[in-house]
């Protein structure tokens, strides 16, 4: 676009402006500008110099960036830093702090962001109840590297129907995340693996766009910042330890090494090969922090099932209740908790130490309808029997 800060896209003129932020960054954005104002500021002959495009497109590329593709203006932002050989000692130390024993996987993740920005990647979650861990510094450093292609979201803004401010970004970061609604988790999981999304801005119609965003979540809540299924493979959860010795101007030191780090990523060989659509397989990104998150989710399933069974026994004035694993799955589905019969059978047998009937017998099956009402249906199956006293002792006394 040379030095001319204006473009005409379709029949509308825009000016590329850089709005300053408190952190010292500049957010580039195209602002609608009137043809009359441009003529008034630069003369009527200036209009002929303004580059003209048929429309907008968004094609990410950090190595061979192009502003124009077949007459369309590329709204993806080129990176300011250019690769240059040099020391990256501080950067590698910081990456090791964030990724620990998975340092090489972390470097692969960053290299994929830089070299293959359209590659689908797992949802990276940085968690810790401790303070001064470097989670926020990691996001700030990524902002320095990828600049206007990274955006921050709040829990509320992610849940909003309007997404025009982040639908075309490479990295979508949510600090202090707490997704306590099932639909937010489902939306996140869908977006993490799709290549299409509906872009919606206020006062404008929805339109389908190509989507290549990667999500990074940070939270001080290690146990249940998000609702996650036992067999989920899309989350890479890392517990970040506290930094023993905080350095002043640490971010500035990281920033000074960015050109050398980009040079390193340009010449480094991947330590992994692509085995899934998210590049990494579930074993490679498995962590104790993920196990803990799944475990707490399992506890949530257990507590909710106990609550439902106690409610049914109170309603029908029973001292015990019979159910098959699929009965429990269907009951829990009505409360928007996802589970499966394998997990329920394991819960009943291993955790509750119950045995099911050897043969199929008649029992009274409890059904929960959409409106929350319960009813009974005569059924046959190899049911488990759960006593009311057992649930009251196990959950009422120990529940939070």
pLDDT exceeds 50 at position 399: no
Residue 154 confidence (pLDDT): 77
The residue out of 286, 314, 341 marking a domain boundary is: 286
Residue with tokens 């955006």: 151
Residue 52 confidence (pLDDT): 94
Residue 176 lies in a domain: yes
Residue 181 confidence (pLDDT): 64
Residues 123 and 239 in one domain: yes
Residue 397 confidence (pLDDT): 44
21-30, 110-119, 195-204, 388-397: least confidently modelled range: 195-204
Residue 81 lies in a domain: no
Residue 164 confidence (pLDDT): 66
Residue 364 confidence (pLDDT): 94
Residues 68 and 94 in one domain: no
State how far the alpha carbon of 391 is from the alpha carbons of 68, 75, 320, 329, 375, in Å.
Answer: 65, 58, 10, 18, 21
Structure tokens belonging to residue 164: 């025009």
* pTM, entire model: 0.76
Across residues 168-186, what is the average pLDDT? 78
93-102, 163-172, 273-282: least confidently modelled range: 163-172
Across residues 156-177, what is the average pLDDT? 76
Q: What angle do CA 241, 246, 248 make, to 5 degrees?
A: 145
Residues 253 and 113 in one domain: yes
Task: Assign 204 a pLDDT band (cuts: 50, 70, 90).
Answer: low
pLDDT exceeds 80 at position 259: yes
Residue 79 lies in a domain: no
Across residues 220-229, what is the average pLDDT? 79
Residue 22 lies in a domain: yes
Across residues 273-296, what is the average pLDDT? 89
Residue 83 lies in a domain: no
Taking only the tens place, the pLDDT of each residue in 372-384 is 889 999 999 999 9
Residues 252 and 114 in one domain: yes
Contacts of residue 202, Cβ cutoff 8 Å, sequence gap at least 6: 162, 164
Residue 291 lies in a domain: no
DSSP string, 253-312: HHHHTHHHHHHHHHHPPPSS---BTTBS-TTTT--HHHHHHHHHHHHHHHHHHHHHHHHH
Residue 301 confidence (pLDDT): 84
Residues 273 and 317 in one domain: no
pLDDT exceeds 70 at position 205: no
Q: What angle do CA 130, 135, 140 make, to 5 degrees?
A: 150
Residue 14 lies in a domain: yes
pLDDT exceeds 80 at position 22: no
Query: pLDDT above 90 covers what percent of the chain?
Result: 56
Question: Quick count: other Cβ atoms within 10 Å of Cβ 318?
Answer: 16
The residue out of 286, 321, 349 marking a domain boundary is: 286
Q: Report CA 20 to chain centroid distance, whole Å.
A: 27
Task: Assign 303 a pLDDT band (cuts: 50, 70, 90).
Answer: confident
Which residue has better confidence, 192 or 65? Answer: 65
Residue 338 confidence (pLDDT): 78
Which helix (H) or strand (E) segment is 188 a member of?
helix 182-193
Domain count, the chain: 3
Output the average pLDDT for the chain: 87
Residue 231 lies in a domain: yes
Task: Assign 334 a pLDDT band (cuts: 50, 70, 90).
Answer: confident
pLDDT exceeds 60 at position 248: yes
Q: Which domain holds residue 337?
A: 297-396
DSSP string, 310-338: HHHHHHHT-SEEEE-HHHHHHHHHTTT--
Task: Assign 333 a pLDDT band (cuts: 50, 70, 90).
Answer: confident
């Amino acid at each position: 676009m040379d030095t001319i800060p204006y473009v005409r896209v379709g029949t509308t003129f825009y000016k590329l402006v850089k709005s300053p932020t408190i952190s010292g960054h500049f957010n580039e954005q195209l602002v609608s500008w009137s043809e009359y104002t441009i003529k008034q500021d630069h003369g009527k002959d200036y209009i002929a110099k303004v580059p003209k495009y048929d429309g907008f497109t968004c094609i990410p590329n950090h190595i061979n960036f192009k502003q124009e593709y077949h007459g369309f203006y590329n709204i993806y932002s080129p990176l300011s830093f250019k690769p240059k050989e040099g020391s990256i000692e501080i950067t590698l130390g910081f990456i090791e702090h964030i990724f620990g024993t998975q340092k090489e996987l972390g470097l692969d993740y960053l290299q994929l962001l830089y070299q293959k920005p359209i590659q689908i990647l797992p949802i990276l979650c940085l968690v810790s109840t401790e303070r001064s861990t470097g989670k926020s510094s990691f996001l700030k450093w990524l902002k320095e590297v990828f600049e206007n292609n990274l955006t921050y979201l709040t829990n509320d803004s992610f849940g909003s129907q309007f997404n025009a401010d982040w639908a075309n970004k490479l990295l979508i970061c949510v600090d202090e995340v707490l997704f306590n609604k099932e639909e937010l988790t489902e939306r996140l999981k869908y977006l993490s693996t799709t290549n299409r999304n509906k872009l919606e801005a206020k006062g404008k119609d929805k339109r389908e766009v190509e989507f290549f965003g990667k999500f990074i979540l940070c939270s001080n809540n290690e146990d249940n910042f998000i609702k996650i299924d036992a067999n989920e493979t899309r989350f890479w959860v890392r517990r970040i330890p506290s930094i023993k010795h905080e350095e002043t101007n640490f971010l500035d030191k990281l920033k000074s090494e960015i050109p050398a780090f980009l040079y390193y990523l340009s010449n480094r060989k991947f330590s992994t090969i692509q085995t899934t659509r998210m590049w990494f397989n579930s074993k490679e990104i498995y962590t104790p922090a993920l196990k803990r998150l799944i475990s707490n989710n399992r506890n949530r399933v257990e507590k909710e099932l106990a609550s439902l069974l106690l409610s049914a026994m109170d309603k029908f004035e029973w001292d015990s209740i019979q159910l098959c694993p699929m009965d429990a799955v269907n009951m829990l589905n009505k409360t928007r908790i996802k589970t499966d019969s394998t997990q329920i059978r394991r819960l009943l047998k291993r955790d509750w130490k119950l045995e099911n009937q050897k043969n199929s017998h008649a029992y009274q099956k409890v059904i929960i309808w959409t409106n929350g009402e319960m009813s009974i249906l005569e059924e046959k199956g190899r049911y488990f029997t759960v006593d009311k006293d057992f649930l009251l002792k196990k959950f009422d006394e120990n529940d939070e």
